[in-house]
Amino acid sequence: MWNYFRDVRAEMKHVSWPSRNLTIAYTAVVVIVSVVTALYLGLLDFVFRFGIEQII
């Protein structure tokens, strides 16, 4: 078990972590894409629901 944790720690030293600014930029992109997708799907839901209600 101790060997495992030692190996994990050694591997974590090899990880290339993104900078703070890059992390903030990527987070902003994810939030914006999520909001746009939610709005798009909400609009489609509204249009299809309205269409089905008109048919029924």
Structure tokens at 36: 């746009």
Interval 16-51: pLDDT, tens = 999 999 999 999 999 999 999 999 999 999 999 999
What pLDDT does 25 receive?
A: 98
Round to whole Å and give the CA distance between 26 and 11: 24
Structure tokens at 7: 């190996």
Q: Where are the alpha helices (DSSP H) in 1-56?
A: 2-14, 20-55
**pTM of this prediction exceeds 0.85:** no
Domain boundaries, the chain: 17-55
